[in-house]
């Protein structure tokens, strides 16, 4: 006799609406996914503010006053490029449907339309009244069941799930990179300024420059620690094909695990390439604009 997990996978294979197939993806293209959560919106705004603060200190306090053209150019291009990629990954994580199950689809009419065979088992979420696929969990903030939900992150104001995990990994990686870069630049700038006794070292007065550098170092150290740990945790989860919720609940896998490179290819899409590091990959901006051009306004998913 098949287990409930195997029976559920059989149902998902025969019914595309339960498997997140092409039909559901087309529906998601025509709307903007955004969670209207006060705490999440404040945290996401703080993330942007802190990155912009780092941009200000690095560019206007350390790089532009430097007398070395190549030092300013190389570090400026590297830091600003990483910052743009980090913010782009943050937006993609926040505005991408993480894998929400259609809300309220567990109706009698829909259940009858599935034409379930005797012995086939599906699960219904009592909170959002939806048919709950395997490995889906309900998020109390998103008020939806999310496929392969890892956790809800207030810093991106969204759940990290099946569809946006790759962008969250890129976000943590690029934030950790610019944090480390900012720490190195701050240390070198402080050492250089002390050596010349702050003469012609910055357009700001020494007390102001020191305060800006200290706050930047504290911010960078905090962000580096947090995002590096999150990046390592996400890579470990992907390589073991186990979400954080499944690990905490000690759920025994009823699915065929895609470990190591198979798991990485499943999350990032395809074999290893530079596209893995591109948060703009797969962005159908033209199609999205064409869809919204035919509508009067934007539709927000909550």
Active site residues: 153
On whether the CB atoms of residues 93 and 160 are closer than 8 A, the answer is yes
CA dihedral sign, ordered 94, 99, 102, 103: negative
DSSP assignment string, 231-280: HHHHHHHHHHT--HHHHHTTPPP-S----THHHHHHHHTSSS-GGGG-TT
Q: CA 50 to CA 67: how far, in whole Å?
A: 27
- Are 75 and 185 spatial neighbours (Cβ–Cβ below 8 Å)? yes
Q: Is 154 helix (H, G, I), strand (E, B) or coil?
A: coil
Specify the DSSP class assigned to residue 126. Answer: T
- Consecutive H or E run containing 124: strand 123-125
Question: Quick one: DSSP state of residue 90?
Answer: H
Measured CA distances, 118 to 16, 63, 115, 134, 156 (Å): 19, 70, 10, 19, 43
Q: Tally the residues of the chain.
A: 302
**Closest by CA position to 123, among listed 267, 209, 221, 18:** 18
| CA–CA dist 149, 153 (Å, integer) | 11
Check: CB of residue 164 under 8 Å from CB of residue 276. no
């Amino acid at each position: 006799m098949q287990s409930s997990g195997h029976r559920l996978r059989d149902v998902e294979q025969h019914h595309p609406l339960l498997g997140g197939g092409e039909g559901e993806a087309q529906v998601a293209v025509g709307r903007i996914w955004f969670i209207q959560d006060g705490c999440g919106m404040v945290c996401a705004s703080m993330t942007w503010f802190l990155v912009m603060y780092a941009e200000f200190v690095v560019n206007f306090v350390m790089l532009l006053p430097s007398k070395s053209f190549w030092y300013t150019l190389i570090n400026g291009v590297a830091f600003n490029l990483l910052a743009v990629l980090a913010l782009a990954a943050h937006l993609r994580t926040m505005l991408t449907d993480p894998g929400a199950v259609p809300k309220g689809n567990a109706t009698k009419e829909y259940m009858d339309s599935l034409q379930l065979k005797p012995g086939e088992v599906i699960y219904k979420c009592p909170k959002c009244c939806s048919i709950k696929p395997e490995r889906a969990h309900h998020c109390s903030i998103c008020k939806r069941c999310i496929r392969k939900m890892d956790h809800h992150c207030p810093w991106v104001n969204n759940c990290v799930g099946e569809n946006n995990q790759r962008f969250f990994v890129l976000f943590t990686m690029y934030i950790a990179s610019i944090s480390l870069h900012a720490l190195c630049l701050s240390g070198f700038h402080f050492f250089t300024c002390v050596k010349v006794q702050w003469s012609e070292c910055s357009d700001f007065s020494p007390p102001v420059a020191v305060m800006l550098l200290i706050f930047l170092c504290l911010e960078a150290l905090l962000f580096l620690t947090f995002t590096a740990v999150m990046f390592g945790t996400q890579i470990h989860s992907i390589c073991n094909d186990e979400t954080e919720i499944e690990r905490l609940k000690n759920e025994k896998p009823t699915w065929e695990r895609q470990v190591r490179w198979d798991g990485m290819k499943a999350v990032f899409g395809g074999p290893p390439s530079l596209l893995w590091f591109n948060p703009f990959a797969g962005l159908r901006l033209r199609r999205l604009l064409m869809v919204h051009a035919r509508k009067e306004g934007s539709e927000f998913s909550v």
